[in-house]
Amino acid sequence: MLIASASIPGVFPPTLIEVEGKGRSLSEMHVDGGVSTPFFVAPEALLLWTTPSVGQARPGRIRVIVNGKIGGGFAFTGGDALAIVGRAWTTMSKAQMRTHLTASAAFARRNGGSLMFAAIPDQTDADTSGLDFKAANREALFRLGYDSALSGKAWQAPAALAETTKGQ
């Protein structure tokens, strides 16, 4: 499952997982779960749910670590099809992340919980595609996370999302 979760479609091959069901054995292809949802808090149908009464299960404190930037951000895009598809995928993924953070925060708030998230600031120069494995880039990202944690700026409330989309 861990290998499948790192299988970025089109970059790394999917992971085959053997399953059995209805008397048949199959090999299912699995890729990064971000294809369908950026993170899991509760089943999608429950995100509109409100706890019916005191004493029922509540979401508590939810913390989400985003592996990248979530703002739109300016970037030059080449005119070839692959560059355009790549930019569209990135833009769509970030928009989906912001929407899912907002919906999950509203779910938590309605049910007496809270949600905070940590993401790489959009102003960061380090490569955050997840594909630059050079030591210098990894060290820069580690230092950014470390410094953010020490300064108390690592965790943000979803209200900060409004700032990431200004001017888009």
User: What pLDDT is stored for residue 67 in this prediction?
Assistant: 83
Structural domain that includes position 142 = 40-164
User: What pLDDT is stored for residue 101 in this prediction?
Assistant: 93
- pLDDT at residue 7 greater than cutoff 90: no
- Same domain for 104 and 135? yes
Q: What is the pTM of this model?
A: 0.73
- Same domain for 15 and 77? no
User: What pLDDT is stored for residue 114 in this prediction?
Assistant: 92
Tell the residue number behind the tokens 């509109």, with chain if given. 48
Number of domains in the chain: 2
Answer with the residue of higher pLDDT: 110 or 44: 110
- Same domain for 122 and 44? yes
Alpha-carbon gap, residue 97 to 33, rounded angstroms: 12
- Same domain for 30 and 46? no
- Same domain for 126 and 91? yes
Confidence of residue 167 (pLDDT cuts 50, 70, 90): very low
- pLDDT at residue 160 greater than cutoff 70: no
